[in-house]
Amino acid sequence: MILVSVGSQAPFDRLIRAVDEWARLRGRSDVFAQIANGRYSPKHIGFIDFVDPSEFKRLVRNAQILVAHAGMGSIILALELGKPAVVMPRRACFRETRNDHQVAAAKYFGEQGRIIVAADEQEISEKLDYALTVHETERIDTKASPQLIGTIQAFLDGNS
């Protein structure tokens, strides 16, 4: 299954429409999306408005690929579970978000080779096709390093 998520705060119709069209053109029936009460109702992919966080984690774990907005929660979960992730950032110029912080997050993780970034809906097909060739990604540790914990503890103790 290919899982698509727009997060829980706002719809992202531009992403859902692009993936729906990709599924139609590729004849894919294994795409499922969480659309957050979007105005666009997909015609070629399964969808639900919202998914409980524990169910979302289960869906990501079982997915071949995660396609998402460039929200930190989605990116970090994909990295923790070692899932290939295709992200398309929300853009302020389209009033999808208040600022372009998702563009910055996508750029940062994309430059590290951690995620596959589609800058816009025109790139989503190419990036999804490529993601299907990626079978595994490096997982990140879910625990903080001892050095980070020590630094935070020193700060809290007033020794920084």
For tokens 């690929």, the residue is: 65
pLDDT digits (tens, 9 = 90+) for 31-76: 999 999 999 999 999 999 999 999 999 999 999 999 999 999 999 9
Q: What is the pLDDT of residue 136?
A: 73
3-class DSSP assignment, residue 133: coil
Q: What is the pLDDT of residue 160?
A: 57
Q: What is the pLDDT of residue 145?
A: 75
Q: What is the pLDDT of residue 64?
A: 95
Which residues on neighbouring strands pair with residue 48, listed in sequence order? 34
Q: What is the pTM of this model?
A: 0.87
H-run or E-run covering 156: helix 146-156
- Please report, for residues 5, 60, 92, 121, 132, the alpha-carbon distance to residue 96 in angstroms, rounded to integers and kept in the order given: 15, 24, 6, 14, 27
Residues of the chain where predicted confidence (pLDDT) is lower than 50: none
Amino acid at residue number 74: S
Q: What does DSSP assign to residue 121?
A: T
H-run or E-run covering 154: helix 146-156
